[in-house]
Amino acid sequence: MSDPSGPKQRGLALELQRSGKAWLFITPVLVALAVVIGYPVFQAIWMSFQQDAGIDPATGMFVEGGSAGLSNYTHWLLQQCNSLGGTISCPTGTLGSQFWSAVWVTLFFTVVTVSLEALLGLGMAIVMGKTFRGRALLRAAVLIPWAIPTAVTARLWEFMFQADGVVNRVLGTDILWTSDVWASRFAVIMADVWKTTPFMALLILAGLQVIPNDVYEAAKVDGASAWQRFVHITLPLLKPALLVAILFRTMDALRMYDLPAIMTLGNPATNTLSILVVDQVRQGPNSAAALSTITFLLVFGIAFVLVKVLGANAVRTQEEQRKAA
Amino acid sequence: MALKFVPRATMVAASIALLTASFASGCSSDNGGNPLDENLTGRGPITYVEGKDTTETGVVKQLIDRWNAAHPDEQVTFKEQSADANQQRDDLAEHFRAKQDGYDVVALDVPWTAEFAAKGWIQPLKDSFAIDTAPLLAPTVASATYNGTLYAAPRNTNGGLLYYRTDLVPNPPRTWTEMLGQCQIARDNNIGCYAGQLAPYEGLTVNTSEVINAFGGSFVGADGKTPTVNSPESKAGLKVLVDAYQNGDIPKEAITFKEGESASAFESGNLLFLRNWPYLYGQANADGSAVKDKFGVAPLPGNTGVGASTLGGYNAAISAFSKNKATAADFVRYLISEEAQQIIAAGALPSVRASLYDDPALIAKMPYLPALKESIASAVPRPVTPFYPAVSKAIQDNAYAALNGTKSVDDAVAGMQKGIETAGS
């Protein structure tokens, strides 16, 4: 006797039953996420369309501003400030005037630090991947900069980069590392690279370790040089791990706050978007909400592009490998 | 591997971004009725909120212990915040924005008072809450007054002092011209002449406003909004500072100095003159300091006579959301009483009562008191405006640009004016 519904239908029913159960299990998490992530995000977006409270000249007291339309966004993107005589272009010394420079500084820090960290991390990972005496010790020692809290790292480098600090004394210079435009950017990049290269190295090392040794053996037998083995075996097989490491660090660098905030405090040359958001929260929460929404869109956009472009690439590489095998 | 990792990475990216976005979200709920009119006669236990007590004598604990011994039914609990001023302010603002009643009496850094008053977060000290301001130093009262109404009681004050090397300069200069005229002595000894706190932070606002006030300039009008900084007096004041920096009388590295760096430059004997707060006195006279017994203090230099110090210190205010406002008002009055101010002064926090500056016992302990009294008598509060953070930013960013030469003095002062004009938006 065969089942009247047939094997196909039965499979579908099973599938439905299974997915129903899945929903049952997923729902609590979704609700929790909606409460802890969804609510604040929508609150922030809603706030970004409200005007910040202003002073009622008659009483000298703050009154709620009402709906703002897009003015909080144009304030940042077009750098328009309200003045006594109407809307003007934001003058120096207002946070509004620093938006595009903050975007630029943030992207600059991200590109430079992530590239340096990827290169140095790769080098460190290759060294750590070799077998030699004291390897365990080296692997532990390398992690120390990453284990130190960022705020402490920032203070440490701040002391070293002081006008009479160790850096100037060693180099015999009198560069103002925390106040010159490019010197201060360099100082922040130095500190960030020192702090996070070990993390990068560790992620890459994990990727290195899964490459089977016999692939290299085979290549050696076929007469491939060390450079050829690196370019044609190590790099392609490492790509997925490298991609994850770069993605993580990019996200991290885009929200950089503590290093420049502590090391170069207030110096406009190193003000990142996160610093601008925190400063603005103290002046007006609604336009800060607009700024953080813009930041969110920027970070999300970059993450999306990275995953799409680099992710697709990594997947294809694996597919090609499978075909080749 | 990539397939497994990419969605997770996307999730991480998304949640990081979402967290950034949620940074600015707060709460706002209205339940009708003006809290400023409620609980005016409430009595009972209250909470006093202040930043970390760093005095050696434990001033806050002494104050509260003494009060609690006398008021068994109206005990005060101390809620200690962090030592960082920004964190203190954020904590208070969060608490008040949520209209919570957990904080009854709060200590406000002088420049926050106007904003908290204009937001309706603190109780005006009038009618049954009125306090006797007659024995208090006039500038400290002005710093707690917004829009013609007193909103807080000055709790302790602070004024800038000029530290100078008595071994190199026997008599302290009274004016900027006199002081900079002695820079040759510094050059002969191969040390810096003058420094203040010129890194771009609140300290630069303080240093800039001191020199602008000393030359007769001002920042905002009485309404706390109309900018008044674009004047020949302000330009003359800022020019003195900028010229001294650019011709080397102020050493190059001073543009990175906050309180700590400037103090250590003086303590290691590398400065002839330094503007700093009274706290440095004990520190610079301690063992290990290169200038121990070799320095004196004077009021800040001015244009034609004593200069205008910017006022520091804390004001004590009653929360609009307190349930026991009558007790809170009594406690605020107690804080400015002779008895409480003695404790405060003994903790090396400058008192707000004029009479204590002539107390021989205190002067013996703190020899800088006469100079500080003179400094505070001619002090000017920082711009009293509900938009203080924006005004301060306009001052420091433009002054910084003038110091490092990216802006002329005239442009910098005009920039301050424009920045203050847009401060409300």
Residue B387 near residue B425 (C-beta atoms within 8 A): no
Q: What mean pLDDT do residues A254-264 have?
A: 93
Token digits of residue B190: 């191969």
Q: Are strands B145-146 and B149-150 parallel, antiparallel or unpaired?
A: antiparallel
- Please report the pLDDT score of residue B158 as a whole number: 93
Euclidean distance between CA atoms B376 and B95, whole angstroms:
32
- CB spacing of A282 vs B2 below 8 angstroms: no
Q: What is the pLDDT of residues A110-146, one digit of tens each?
A: 999 999 999 999 999 999 888 888 888 888 888 899 8
SS3 B337: coil
> How many other C-beta atoms lie within 10 A of the C-beta of residue A260?
28
Residues B106 and B199 both lie in one domain? no
Residue B353 belongs to some domain of the structure = yes
Tally of domains in chain B: 2
- CB spacing of A314 vs B20 below 8 angstroms: no
Given a cut of 90, whether residue B342 has pLDDT beyond it is yes
Q: What is the mean pLDDT of chain A?
A: 88
Residues B131 and B249 both lie in one domain? no
> Does residue B422 sit at the A interface (CB-CB below 8 Å)?
yes
Q: What is the pLDDT of residues B72-116, one digit of tens each?
A: 999 999 999 998 888 899 999 999 999 999 999 999 999 999 999
| CB burial readout B154-171, b (16+ within 10 A) else e | bbbbbbbbbbbbeebbee
Residues B294 and B413 both lie in one domain? yes
Residues B170 and B143 both lie in one domain? no
- Please report the pLDDT score of residue A82 as a whole number: 84
Given a cut of 50, whether residue B49 has pLDDT beyond it is yes
> Does residue B269 sit at the A interface (CB-CB below 8 Å)?
no
Residue B174 near residue B414 (C-beta atoms within 8 A): no
Which residues of chain A have a CB within 8 Å of the CB of B396? Answer: 93, 266
Residues B154 and B237 both lie in one domain? no
Token digits of residue B33: 């009725």
CA of B59 vs chain A CAs: smallest distance (Å): 29
Out of B21, B390, B416, the one facing A292 most closely (by C-beta) is: B21
Give the range of the structural domain holding residue B194, as residue numbers without chain letter: 161-310+387-421
Residue A179 near residue A201 (C-beta atoms within 8 A): no
Residues B398 and B288 both lie in one domain? yes
Name the phi and psi angles at B23, rounded to 5: -50, -45
Helix, strand, coil content of chain A in percent (nearest 5): 75, 5, 20
Distance (Å) of CA B274 to CA B213, B290, B348: 18, 15, 20
Euclidean distance between CA atoms A286 and A73, whole angstroms:
10
Residue B9 belongs to some domain of the structure = no
Given a cut of 60, whether residue A16 has pLDDT beyond it is yes
- Please report the pLDDT score of residue B30 as a whole number: 44
> Does residue B37 sit at the A interface (CB-CB below 8 Å)?
no
Distance (Å) of CA B131 to CA A217, B128, B150, B265: 88, 9, 9, 42
Lowest mean per-residue pLDDT among A159-173, A292-306, B28-42, B136-150: B28-42
- Please report the pLDDT score of residue A314 as a whole number: 57
Residue B5 belongs to some domain of the structure = no
| CATH code of residue B298 | 3.40.190.10
Euclidean distance between CA atoms A102 and A298, whole angstroms:
12
Q: What mean pLDDT do residues A202-218 have?
A: 91
Cα–Cα nearest to A73, from A299, A285, A302, A288: A288
Q: What mean pLDDT do residues B369-388 have?
A: 90
- CB spacing of B1 vs A240 below 8 angstroms: yes
- Please report the pLDDT score of residue B210 as a whole number: 95
> Does residue B260 sit at the A interface (CB-CB below 8 Å)?
no
The stretches of B222-294 forming alpha helices (DSSP H) are 232-246, 259-267, 280-284
A55 confidence band (pLDDT: 50, 70, 90)? confident
- Please report the pLDDT score of residue A22 as a whole number: 85
Q: Which residue of B has its CA nearest to A264?
A: B256
- CB spacing of B24 vs A315 below 8 angstroms: no
Residues B228 and B305 both lie in one domain? yes
Sketch out chain A's domains with CATH numbers. 96-272 (1.10.3720.10)
pTM score of the predicted model? 0.85
Alpha carbon A313 to its chain's center: 21
* Residue recorded with tokens 């790769």: A122
Give the amino acid at B296.
G
- CB spacing of B390 vs A94 below 8 angstroms: yes
- Please report the pLDDT score of residue A129 as a whole number: 86
Q: What percent of chain A shows pLDDT beyond 70?
A: 93
Given a cut of 50, whether residue B182 has pLDDT beyond it is yes
Residues B320 and B290 both lie in one domain? no
* Residue recorded with tokens 């420079």: A101
Residues B306 and B317 both lie in one domain? no
Given a cut of 70, whether residue A1 has pLDDT beyond it is no
- CB spacing of A163 vs B2 below 8 angstroms: no
> Does residue B26 sit at the A interface (CB-CB below 8 Å)?
yes
Residues B260 and B371 both lie in one domain? no
